[in-house]
Protein backbone atom coordinates (compact mmCIF):
# COMPACT_ATOMS: atom_id res chain seq x y z
CA UNK A 1 0.00 0.00 0.00
CA UNK A 2 1.22 3.49 -0.81
CA UNK A 3 -1.04 5.10 1.81
CA UNK A 4 0.45 5.13 5.31
CA UNK A 5 -2.12 7.00 7.43
CA UNK A 6 -5.79 6.35 8.20
CA UNK A 7 -8.72 8.04 9.90
CA UNK A 8 -9.56 6.51 13.27
CA UNK A 9 -11.55 7.05 16.48
CA UNK A 10 -9.15 6.45 19.35
CA UNK A 11 -8.27 7.27 22.96
CA UNK A 12 -4.97 7.99 24.66
CA UNK A 13 -6.26 7.20 28.17
CA UNK A 14 -9.29 5.54 29.74
CA UNK A 15 -12.19 7.75 30.80
CA UNK A 16 -15.29 9.47 29.43
CA UNK A 17 -16.45 9.52 25.83
CA UNK A 18 -14.98 13.00 25.58
CA UNK A 19 -11.58 11.28 25.46
CA UNK A 20 -12.36 9.82 22.02
CA UNK A 21 -10.30 11.58 19.36
CA UNK A 22 -11.18 11.56 15.67
CA UNK A 23 -7.91 11.92 13.84
CA UNK A 24 -5.17 10.11 11.96
CA UNK A 25 -3.05 7.13 12.97
CA UNK A 26 -0.61 4.95 11.11
CA UNK A 27 -2.16 2.07 9.20
CA UNK A 28 -1.42 -1.02 11.31
CA UNK A 29 1.41 -3.32 10.31
CA UNK A 30 0.75 -7.02 9.84
CA UNK A 31 2.10 -9.99 11.71
CA UNK A 32 2.49 -13.28 9.81
CA UNK A 33 -1.04 -14.42 10.74
CA UNK A 34 -2.80 -11.04 10.48
CA UNK A 35 -5.11 -9.77 7.75
CA UNK A 36 -5.40 -6.10 6.83
CA UNK A 37 -9.07 -5.21 6.33
CA UNK A 38 -10.52 -2.00 4.92
CA UNK A 39 -13.41 -1.42 7.31
CA UNK A 40 -16.85 -0.83 5.78
CA UNK A 41 -18.77 -0.68 9.07
CA UNK A 42 -17.80 -0.75 12.74
CA UNK A 43 -20.61 -1.35 15.24
CA UNK A 44 -20.91 0.53 18.53
CA UNK A 45 -21.65 -1.74 21.50
CA UNK A 46 -22.26 -1.07 25.17
CA UNK A 47 -19.18 -3.17 25.93
CA UNK A 48 -17.11 -0.70 23.89
CA UNK A 49 -18.04 1.95 26.44
CA UNK A 50 -16.94 -0.37 29.28
CA UNK A 51 -13.51 -0.88 27.69
CA UNK A 52 -13.11 2.82 26.96
CA UNK A 53 -14.13 3.93 30.45
CA UNK A 54 -12.16 1.25 32.30
CA UNK A 55 -15.25 -0.45 33.76
CA UNK A 56 -14.07 -3.59 31.95
CA UNK A 57 -10.37 -3.92 32.64
CA UNK A 58 -8.46 -5.40 29.76
CA UNK A 59 -5.07 -4.95 28.19
CA UNK A 60 -5.02 -2.10 25.67
CA UNK A 61 -2.18 -0.17 24.06
CA UNK A 62 -2.44 3.58 23.56
CA UNK A 63 -3.31 5.18 21.26
CA UNK A 64 -6.18 2.70 21.33
CA UNK A 65 -8.74 2.42 18.53
CA UNK A 66 -12.19 1.81 20.03
CA UNK A 67 -14.72 -0.73 18.80
CA UNK A 68 -15.19 -4.48 18.67
CA UNK A 69 -17.07 -5.46 15.51
CA UNK A 70 -15.96 -4.87 11.93
CA UNK A 71 -17.16 -5.79 8.46
CA UNK A 72 -14.95 -5.00 5.51
CA UNK A 73 -12.76 -6.12 2.62
CA UNK A 74 -9.42 -7.89 2.72
CA UNK A 75 -6.60 -5.67 1.46
CA UNK A 76 -3.48 -7.64 2.36
CA UNK A 77 -2.56 -10.88 4.12
CA UNK A 78 0.36 -11.78 6.37
CA UNK A 79 2.87 -14.33 5.14
CA UNK A 80 1.32 -17.24 7.10
CA UNK A 81 -2.35 -16.46 6.44
CA UNK A 82 -4.46 -19.17 4.80
CA UNK A 83 -8.10 -19.02 3.70
CA UNK A 84 -8.23 -15.30 2.93
CA UNK A 85 -7.27 -13.23 -0.10
CA UNK A 86 -7.54 -9.59 -1.22
CA UNK A 87 -11.04 -8.53 -2.24
CA UNK A 88 -12.81 -11.02 0.06
CA UNK A 89 -15.66 -9.69 2.22
CA UNK A 90 -15.03 -10.55 5.89
CA UNK A 91 -16.12 -9.79 9.45
CA UNK A 92 -14.87 -10.00 13.02
CA UNK A 93 -16.45 -9.47 16.43
CA UNK A 94 -13.53 -9.77 18.84
CA UNK A 95 -11.39 -6.69 18.31
CA UNK A 96 -10.74 -3.86 20.76
CA UNK A 97 -9.73 -5.75 23.93
CA UNK A 98 -7.11 -8.17 25.29
CA UNK A 99 -4.28 -6.37 23.49
CA UNK A 100 -6.06 -6.05 20.13
CA UNK A 101 -6.76 -2.68 18.54
CA UNK A 102 -10.37 -1.87 17.71
CA UNK A 103 -12.49 -1.53 14.59
CA UNK A 104 -13.41 2.18 14.45
CA UNK A 105 -10.90 3.08 11.76
CA UNK A 106 -10.43 2.93 8.02
CA UNK A 107 -8.25 -0.17 8.40
CA UNK A 108 -7.87 -2.93 10.97
CA UNK A 109 -5.25 -5.66 11.32
CA UNK A 110 -7.23 -8.74 12.36
CA UNK A 111 -5.79 -12.09 13.53
CA UNK A 112 -6.66 -14.82 11.04
CA UNK A 113 -8.26 -16.99 13.74
CA UNK A 114 -10.70 -14.18 14.62
CA UNK A 115 -11.76 -13.37 11.05
CA UNK A 116 -14.62 -14.95 9.10
CA UNK A 117 -15.68 -14.82 5.48
CA UNK A 118 -18.97 -13.01 4.86
CA UNK A 119 -21.42 -14.97 2.68
CA UNK A 120 -21.86 -13.27 -0.70
CA UNK A 121 -25.63 -12.85 -0.31
CA UNK A 122 -25.44 -11.02 3.03
CA UNK A 123 -25.85 -7.27 3.48
CA UNK A 124 -22.60 -6.09 5.16
CA UNK A 125 -24.51 -3.61 7.34
CA UNK A 126 -26.76 -6.41 8.61
CA UNK A 127 -23.71 -8.50 9.44
CA UNK A 128 -22.13 -5.63 11.38
CA UNK A 129 -25.38 -5.02 13.25
CA UNK A 130 -25.96 -8.66 14.21
CA UNK A 131 -22.45 -10.00 14.88
CA UNK A 132 -22.32 -9.06 18.56
CA UNK A 133 -25.96 -9.77 19.56
CA UNK A 134 -26.21 -13.15 17.82
CA UNK A 135 -22.81 -14.43 18.94
CA UNK A 136 -23.49 -13.28 22.50
CA UNK A 137 -26.93 -14.89 22.57
CA UNK A 138 -25.81 -18.17 21.06
CA UNK A 139 -22.77 -18.62 23.27
CA UNK A 140 -24.56 -17.46 26.42
CA UNK A 141 -27.39 -19.98 25.99
CA UNK A 142 -24.91 -22.69 25.04
CA UNK A 143 -22.80 -21.95 28.13
CA UNK A 144 -25.71 -22.50 30.52
CA UNK A 145 -26.86 -25.68 28.81
CA UNK A 146 -30.24 -24.65 27.37
CA UNK A 147 -31.76 -27.68 25.66
CA UNK A 148 -34.59 -28.60 23.34
CA UNK A 149 -37.83 -28.62 25.36
CA UNK A 150 -36.57 -26.36 28.15
CA UNK A 151 -38.48 -23.26 29.22
CA UNK A 152 -36.51 -20.03 29.05
CA UNK A 153 -37.61 -16.60 30.23
CA UNK A 154 -35.95 -13.74 28.33
CA UNK A 155 -36.26 -10.33 29.94
CA UNK A 156 -35.77 -7.30 27.72
CA UNK A 157 -36.66 -9.49 24.77
CA UNK A 158 -37.16 -6.63 22.29
CA UNK A 159 -33.63 -5.24 22.54
CA UNK A 160 -30.70 -6.16 20.32
CA UNK A 161 -29.31 -8.99 22.44
CA UNK A 162 -32.78 -9.83 23.80
CA UNK A 163 -34.16 -10.39 20.30
CA UNK A 164 -31.18 -12.55 19.43
CA UNK A 165 -31.69 -14.56 22.63
CA UNK A 166 -35.28 -15.27 21.63
CA UNK A 167 -34.25 -16.31 18.12
CA UNK A 168 -31.39 -18.52 19.34
CA UNK A 169 -33.58 -20.16 22.00
CA UNK A 170 -36.21 -20.93 19.36
CA UNK A 171 -33.47 -22.39 17.18
CA UNK A 172 -32.45 -24.68 20.05
CA UNK A 173 -36.08 -25.79 20.47
CA UNK A 174 -36.85 -24.18 23.82
CA UNK A 175 -40.20 -22.76 24.89
CA UNK A 176 -39.67 -19.00 25.10
CA UNK A 177 -41.44 -16.66 27.52
CA UNK A 178 -40.49 -13.11 26.56
CA UNK A 179 -40.96 -9.95 28.61
CA UNK A 180 -40.98 -6.59 26.84
CA UNK A 181 -42.88 -3.33 26.65
CA UNK A 182 -46.43 -3.87 25.34
CA UNK A 183 -45.69 -2.03 22.09
CA UNK A 184 -42.91 -4.55 21.34
CA UNK A 185 -45.12 -7.62 21.78
CA UNK A 186 -45.69 -8.10 18.04
CA UNK A 187 -41.96 -8.02 17.37
CA UNK A 188 -41.29 -10.66 20.03
CA UNK A 189 -43.98 -12.95 18.62
CA UNK A 190 -42.65 -12.44 15.09
CA UNK A 191 -39.25 -13.86 16.07
CA UNK A 192 -40.76 -16.91 17.72
CA UNK A 193 -41.60 -16.19 21.36
CA UNK A 194 -44.32 -18.56 22.58
CA UNK A 195 -45.58 -16.16 25.27
CA UNK A 196 -45.04 -12.40 25.52
CA UNK A 197 -45.70 -10.57 28.79
CA UNK A 198 -45.73 -6.85 29.49
CA UNK A 199 -42.52 -6.00 31.32
CA UNK A 200 -44.27 -3.02 32.96
CA UNK A 201 -47.03 -5.13 34.49
CA UNK A 202 -46.81 -4.73 38.30
CA UNK A 203 -47.79 -8.41 38.59
CA UNK A 204 -45.19 -9.61 36.08
CA UNK A 205 -43.69 -12.25 38.38
CA UNK A 206 -47.11 -13.79 38.96
CA UNK A 207 -47.77 -13.77 35.19
CA UNK A 208 -44.49 -15.57 34.53
CA UNK A 209 -45.22 -18.15 37.23
CA UNK A 210 -48.65 -18.77 35.71
CA UNK A 211 -47.30 -19.52 32.21
CA UNK A 212 -44.30 -21.46 33.53
CA UNK A 213 -45.78 -23.30 36.53
CA UNK A 214 -42.84 -25.70 36.77
CA UNK A 215 -40.41 -22.81 36.81
CA UNK A 216 -37.94 -21.63 34.20
CA UNK A 217 -35.03 -23.89 33.31
CA UNK A 218 -33.18 -20.72 32.34
CA UNK A 219 -34.03 -17.13 33.26
CA UNK A 220 -31.99 -14.63 31.25
CA UNK A 221 -31.46 -11.42 33.20
CA UNK A 222 -30.78 -8.52 30.86
CA UNK A 223 -31.86 -6.00 33.52
CA UNK A 224 -29.38 -4.40 35.92
CA UNK A 225 -31.00 -5.48 39.22
CA UNK A 226 -31.62 -9.10 40.23
CA UNK A 227 -33.90 -9.96 43.13
CA UNK A 228 -35.06 -12.98 45.05
CA UNK A 229 -38.23 -12.88 42.96
CA UNK A 230 -36.17 -13.73 39.87
CA UNK A 231 -34.61 -16.68 41.72
CA UNK A 232 -38.04 -17.91 42.83
CA UNK A 233 -39.10 -18.16 39.18
CA UNK A 234 -36.47 -20.82 38.49
CA UNK A 235 -37.24 -24.52 38.32
CA UNK A 236 -35.30 -26.98 40.43
CA UNK A 237 -31.73 -26.93 39.03
CA UNK A 238 -32.72 -23.84 37.05
CA UNK A 239 -30.06 -21.35 35.96
CA UNK A 240 -30.15 -17.58 36.17
CA UNK A 241 -28.09 -16.33 33.22
CA UNK A 242 -26.64 -12.87 33.84
CA UNK A 243 -25.61 -10.88 30.75
CA UNK A 244 -26.76 -7.47 31.92
CA UNK A 245 -23.35 -5.84 31.99
CA UNK A 246 -20.88 -4.41 34.43
CA UNK A 247 -23.34 -2.67 36.76
CA UNK A 248 -25.64 -5.57 37.70
CA UNK A 249 -26.76 -5.52 41.36
CA UNK A 250 -28.21 -8.42 43.39
CA UNK A 251 -30.48 -8.49 46.43
CA UNK A 252 -31.44 -11.96 47.66
CA UNK A 253 -30.55 -14.69 50.16
CA UNK A 254 -28.44 -17.60 48.91
CA UNK A 255 -30.79 -20.10 50.51
CA UNK A 256 -33.11 -19.83 47.52
CA UNK A 257 -30.30 -21.25 45.38
CA UNK A 258 -29.07 -23.88 47.80
CA UNK A 259 -32.38 -25.49 48.71
CA UNK A 260 -33.30 -26.27 45.09
CA UNK A 261 -29.86 -26.70 43.47
CA UNK A 262 -30.27 -23.54 41.44
CA UNK A 263 -27.33 -21.56 40.12
CA UNK A 264 -26.32 -18.18 38.77
CA UNK A 265 -24.31 -18.19 35.59
CA UNK A 266 -22.53 -15.11 34.24
CA UNK A 267 -21.50 -14.77 30.63
CA UNK A 268 -19.41 -12.15 28.85
CA UNK A 269 -18.46 -12.74 25.23
CA UNK A 270 -15.05 -11.25 25.95
CA UNK A 271 -14.16 -14.56 27.65
CA UNK A 272 -15.09 -16.65 24.60
CA UNK A 273 -12.28 -18.68 23.05
CA UNK A 274 -11.44 -18.51 19.33
CA UNK A 275 -13.03 -21.95 18.88
CA UNK A 276 -16.24 -20.79 20.56
CA UNK A 277 -16.29 -17.62 18.46
CA UNK A 278 -15.83 -19.69 15.30
CA UNK A 279 -18.77 -21.87 16.32
CA UNK A 280 -20.89 -18.76 16.86
CA UNK A 281 -19.70 -17.39 13.51
CA UNK A 282 -21.10 -20.42 11.72
CA UNK A 283 -24.47 -19.84 13.41
CA UNK A 284 -24.41 -16.15 12.50
CA UNK A 285 -23.64 -16.92 8.87
CA UNK A 286 -26.53 -19.39 8.79
CA UNK A 287 -29.12 -16.98 10.21
CA UNK A 288 -27.88 -14.14 8.01
CA UNK A 289 -28.32 -16.29 4.92
CA UNK A 290 -31.74 -17.72 5.84
CA UNK A 291 -33.04 -14.41 7.22
CA UNK A 292 -34.35 -15.83 10.50
CA UNK A 293 -32.67 -12.96 12.37
CA UNK A 294 -32.63 -9.40 11.06
CA UNK A 295 -31.71 -6.14 12.81
CA UNK A 296 -34.72 -4.13 13.97
CA UNK A 297 -33.25 -0.72 13.22
CA UNK A 298 -29.84 0.25 11.87
CA UNK A 299 -28.49 3.79 12.07
CA UNK A 300 -25.31 4.57 10.14
CA UNK A 301 -23.16 7.47 11.31
CA UNK A 302 -19.81 8.80 10.09
CA UNK A 303 -16.70 7.66 11.90
CA UNK A 304 -16.30 11.18 13.28
CA UNK A 305 -19.47 10.61 15.35
CA UNK A 306 -17.87 7.87 17.51
CA UNK A 307 -17.76 9.99 20.68
CA UNK A 308 -21.38 11.10 20.23
CA UNK A 309 -22.43 7.47 19.68
CA UNK A 310 -20.72 6.36 22.91
CA UNK A 311 -22.41 9.18 24.84
CA UNK A 312 -25.79 8.29 23.40
CA UNK A 313 -25.52 4.61 24.36
CA UNK A 314 -24.39 5.48 27.88
CA UNK A 315 -27.22 7.99 28.30
CA UNK A 316 -30.12 6.33 26.48
CA UNK A 317 -29.22 2.70 25.81
CA UNK A 318 -29.95 1.19 22.41
CA UNK A 319 -33.60 0.00 22.53
CA UNK A 320 -33.34 -2.21 19.47
CA UNK A 321 -31.31 0.24 17.37
CA UNK A 322 -27.84 -0.74 16.17
CA UNK A 323 -25.45 2.13 15.58
CA UNK A 324 -22.83 1.59 12.90
CA UNK A 325 -19.88 3.83 12.09
CA UNK A 326 -18.96 4.09 8.43
CA UNK A 327 -15.33 5.16 7.90
CA UNK A 328 -16.00 6.17 4.31
CA UNK A 329 -18.47 8.89 5.32
The pLDDT-based confidence of 224 (bands split at 50, 70, 90) is low
pLDDT in tens, 119-172: 999 999 999 999 999 999 999 999 999 999 999 999 999 999 999 999 999 999
Sign of CA dihedral 67, 72, 76, 82: positive
Q: Write down the pLDDT at residue 269.
A: 92
Kindly report, as residue ranges, where domains of CATH 3.90.180.10 are found in the chain: 5-131+278-326
Q: Write down the pLDDT at residue 292.
A: 86
CATH 3.90.180.10 fits 5-131+278-326, yes or no: yes
pLDDT in tens, 228-245: 788 899 999 999 998 876
CATH architecture label of 145-266: 3-Layer(aba) Sandwich (3.40)
Query: Is the pLDDT score of 246 beyond 90?
Result: no
Pairing state between β 234-242 and 195-198: unpaired
Output the average pLDDT for the chain. Answer: 94
Tell me if 199 sits within 8 A of 181, measured CB to CB: yes
The pLDDT-based confidence of 317 (bands split at 50, 70, 90) is confident
pLDDT in tens, 11-59: 999 999 999 999 999 999 999 999 999 999 999 999 999 999 999 999 9
Residue 6 has what DSSP assignment?
E
β-partners of residue 35 are 77, 110
The pLDDT-based confidence of 305 (bands split at 50, 70, 90) is very high
pLDDT in tens, 71-118: 999 999 999 999 999 999 999 999 999 999 999 999 999 999 999 999
Q: Write down the pLDDT at residue 245.
A: 61
CA dist 53 and 318 (Å) reads 18
Dihedral angle computed from the Cα positions of residues 215, 218, 223 and 224, in that order, rounded to the nearest 10 degrees: 100
The tally of CA atoms less than 13 A away on the side-chain side of residue 164 is 26
Q: Write down the pLDDT at residue 258.
A: 83
Q: Write down the pLDDT at residue 1.
A: 55
Q: How far is CA 324 from the centre of its chain?
A: 13
Sign of CA dihedral 156, 247, 315, 71: negative
Percent of all residues in the chain with a pLDDT value above 90, rounded to a whole number: 85
Q: Write down the pLDDT at residue 99.
A: 97
Percent of all residues in the chain with a pLDDT value above 70, rounded to a whole number: 95
Task: Please give the model's pTM, rounded to 2 decimal places.
Answer: 0.93
Mean pLDDT, residues 64-76 taken together: 98
The pLDDT-based confidence of 285 (bands split at 50, 70, 90) is very high
Q: Write down the pLDDT at residue 315.
A: 92
Kindly report, as residue ranges, where domains of CATH 3.40.50.720 are found in the chain: 145-266
Amino acid sequence: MTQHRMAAAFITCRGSADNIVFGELAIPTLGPKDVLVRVSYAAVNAVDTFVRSGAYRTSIEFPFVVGRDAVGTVVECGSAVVGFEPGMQVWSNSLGYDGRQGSAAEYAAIPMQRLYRLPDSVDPAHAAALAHPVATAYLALRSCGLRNGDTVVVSGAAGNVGSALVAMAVRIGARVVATAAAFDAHHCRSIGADVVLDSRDPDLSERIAAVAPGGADVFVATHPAISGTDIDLLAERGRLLVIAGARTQVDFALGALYMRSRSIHGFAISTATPDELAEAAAILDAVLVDGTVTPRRVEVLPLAAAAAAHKRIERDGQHGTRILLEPGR
